[in-house]
Every structure is written in structure tokens, then in C-alpha cells.
């Protein structure tokens, strides 16, 4: 867990380094891509299809702050349909591909959590029953999870690199989060809590230029998507209105109220391997005072607490 140095081994080790992310991708793809049309669309997907087909017909998507969440899903989902035609498989192609790519992102944190830890994380991401299920449904959740992990990998790699490209990627991911779902604010709060509680996870302080690049990229992505590529500048006001509306709904419950232990119950029942690994990892982090592992533990705990 203590920041493994870059690989300095021989050719065989180098081949393994190159092969691991591809093997993780293959494992995730095998569980996500086949027979995407096996199940009929459920209610939320059907609602998204209405707006997606309207987007295809009219060539524009106008974000409604009172419902249906952000525009990113529609902009990404339209590409496979334009290329290969309208079908259930093509409707679900974008989330299935994002869910597949997510498994390989864990390898980007191998210096911080070790190669074995990165492989284990990648396997858990690839085989998670919940992540596989939501990768095969075109609703907003898998977009949110993928972009969150992309944001973390971009920031971590950027803090150890002189290049600004990592921060641009992280900023684009943050902008995508803002344009995906209103609960992105909870993601940012949880990440902030994890970084603050672990003293930045033991990572170096970011350079001013890197922070500017990150913020500019985030703002550019969010503005482009909410304004429908600058054709509807009034759309930039709607996310602010959405925070008020969805904040009130979240506090009231509005038919979605759950007991505080609801998500922990789901993790215990559906994701016992991930839950046990998380508890064990947090214990090891505390024992060894590993600041990056402490960041991961605090981030996870903050997310569970905020949603609960």
C-alpha cells in the first residue's frame, strides 16, 4: 500500500504490466457486453428512451431541472444509435462500455495501493453483481461511478506528474459528473472529506497551473453539455435550480425514503466480497497509518454516510 515504485523489472514483468489492464477489460467485457437485449427496458430506461429519441429527431436536448437528470447520458447514448441503428443493444452500449472500462481504471492506482491491490480492485469492479447489472441498464448511475473513478485516477496520477494532461482529464470527468446527475455534489463532498481527513492522502500539493487546467476543463464540459453546445445558454441556470429542487426532495424522501441502514444491507447481501475487503482495507490502513489507504476508507465511509 505504500506507493510502489514504477516497474524496473525485466521484460517478463513489463509484459505483465501491459497485460493486466487488458485482462481486466476482457473479464469485465465478458460479463457486460453479451446479449444486452436479454431483458426488456424497465421504467427508467423507457423514460430515457423517450428523451433520447426526441433528441435524435430534434437534434437538441434541453435539460429539465425538475426531472430526468443531466444531459451527458443522452449525448453519449446517441452515438451508438447513430452508428448502428436503434435497438435495445445499442441503447445499452454506452453504459456497458463505461462499465467495462471502469475495471481497468483500478490499474492506474497501482503505485498507491500496490499491484496486487490494483488487480484485486479491478477484479472486484469487473465482477461486482451490482456494477455488472447497472452497466447493462442505460440509467445515470454507471456514468456517475465511472466518472468518479476517472476523476480520482486523473488527480492521483496528475499529482505525481509534471504534465497537465492528467488534470485536464480529471477536470473533464468532474464536468461530466456535474452533467450526469444532481447527486454529483455528494460525490465531491465525500472526496473532499476523504482528502481532508487523510491530509490529502499523502499526495503532493497540486500546482496552481494544474488546478486552473482542472477547473477550466470541468467548466468547459459542464457548460457545453448544459447549453447544448452553446445553442441554449439559458440551460446554464437550470442546474442551480435543480440543486434546490432535488435538495428538498432528498430531505423529504418523496417516496424514496429508506432506513439509515438500507445501503449497508444491500452491500451485505449483494456485495459481501467488496464489503469485507473494504473493512479489512480500512483496518490495515489504520494499523499502518497509510494515508492514501486512509483517503480511500474515508471517501467510502463518507459516501455511505451521505447517502444513508
Provide the pLDDT confidence category of residue 254 given band limits of 50, 70 and 90.
low
pLDDT given for residue 64 in this prediction: 79
Mean pLDDT along residues 244-273: 82
* Nearest Cα to Cα of residue 73 among 171, 146, 168, 149: 146
Does residue 116 register a pLDDT over 70?
A: yes
Average predicted confidence (pLDDT) for the chain: 89
- Cell 456517475: give the residue: 144
pLDDT at 8: 52
Return the pLDDT at 308. Answer: 85
As a whole-number percent, the residues of the chain with pLDDT over 90 amount to: 60
Ranked by mean pLDDT, the top range of 14-23, 227-236, 263-272 is: 263-272
Q: Mean pLDDT lowest for which of 55-69, 97-111, 161-175, 278-292?
A: 55-69
DSSP string, 234-296: GGGTHHHHHHHHHHHHHHH-TT----TTHHHHHHHHH-HHHHHHHHHHHHHHHHHT-HHHHHH
- Across 43-52, 75-84, 125-134, 245-254, least confident range: 245-254
Count the residues in the chain. 308
pLDDT value of residue 91: 94
Is the pTM for the entire model greater than 0.85? Answer: yes
pLDDT digits (tens, 9 = 90+) for 25-71: 999 999 999 999 999 998 889 888 888 888 888 887 888 777 778 89
pLDDT-derived band at 7, boundaries 50, 70, 90: low
176-211 pLDDT tens trace: 999 999 889 999 999 999 999 998 888 998 899 999
Q: Is pLDDT of 282 > 60? A: yes
Q: 166 and 263 in contact (C-beta within 8 Å)?
A: no
pLDDT at 300 over 80: yes
Write the CB contacts of 169 (distance below 8 Å, at least 6 apart in sequence): 150, 154, 158, 217
Amino acid at each position: 500500500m505504500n506507493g510502489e515504485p514504477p516497474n524496473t523489472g525485466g521484460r517478463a514483468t513489463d509484459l505483465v504490466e501491459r497485460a493486466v489492464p487488458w485482462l481486466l477489460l476482457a473479464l469485465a467485457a465478458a460479463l457486460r457486453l453479451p446479449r444486452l437485449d436479454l431483458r426488456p427496458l424497465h421504467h427508467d430506461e423507457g423514460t430515457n428512451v423517450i428523451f433520447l429519441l426526441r433528441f435524435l429527431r430534434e437534434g437538441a436536448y434541453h435539460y429539465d431541472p425538475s426531472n430526468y437528470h443531466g444531459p451527458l447520458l443522452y449525448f453519449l447514448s446517441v452515438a451508438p444509435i447513430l452508428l448502428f441503428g436503434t435497438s435495445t443493444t445499442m441503447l445499452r452500449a454506452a453504459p456497458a462500455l463505461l462499465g467495462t472500462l471502469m475495471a481497468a481504471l483500478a490499474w492506474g492506482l497501482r503505485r498507491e495501493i500496490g499491484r496486487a491491490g490494483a488487480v484485486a480492485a479491478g477484479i472486484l469492479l469487473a465482477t461486482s453483481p451490482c456494477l455488472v447489472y447497472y452497466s447493462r441498464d442505460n440509467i445515470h448511475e454507471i456514468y456517475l461511478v465511472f466518472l468518479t473513478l476517472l476523476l480520482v485516477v486523473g488527480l492521483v496520477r496528475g499529482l505525481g506528474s509534471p504534465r497537465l494532461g492528467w488534470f485536464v482529464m480529471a477536470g473533464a470527468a468532474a464536468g461530466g459528473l456535474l452533467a450526469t446527475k444532481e447527486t454529483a455534489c455528494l460525490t465531491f463532498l465525500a472526496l473532499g472529506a476523504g482528502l481532508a481527513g487523510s491530509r490529502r492522502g499523502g499526495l503532493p500539493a497540486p500546482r496552481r497551473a494544474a488546478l486552473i487546467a482542472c477547473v477550466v476543463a470541468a467548466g468547459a464540459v459542464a457548460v457545453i453539455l448544459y447549453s447544448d453546445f452553446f445553442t441554449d445558454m439559458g440551460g446554464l441556470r437550470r442546474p442551480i435550480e435543480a440543486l434546490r429542487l432535488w435538495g428538498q426532495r432528498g430531505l423529504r424522501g418523496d417516496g424514496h425514503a429508506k432506513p439509515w441502514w438500507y445501503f449497508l444491507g444491500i452491500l451485505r447481501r449483494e456485495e459481501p466480497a467488496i464489503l469485507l475487503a473494504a473493512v479489512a482495507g480500512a483496518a490495515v490502513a489504520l494499523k499502518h497509518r497509510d494515508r492514501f489507504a486512509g483517503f480511500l476508507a474515508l471517501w467510502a465511509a463518507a459516501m455511505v454516510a451521505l447517502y444513508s
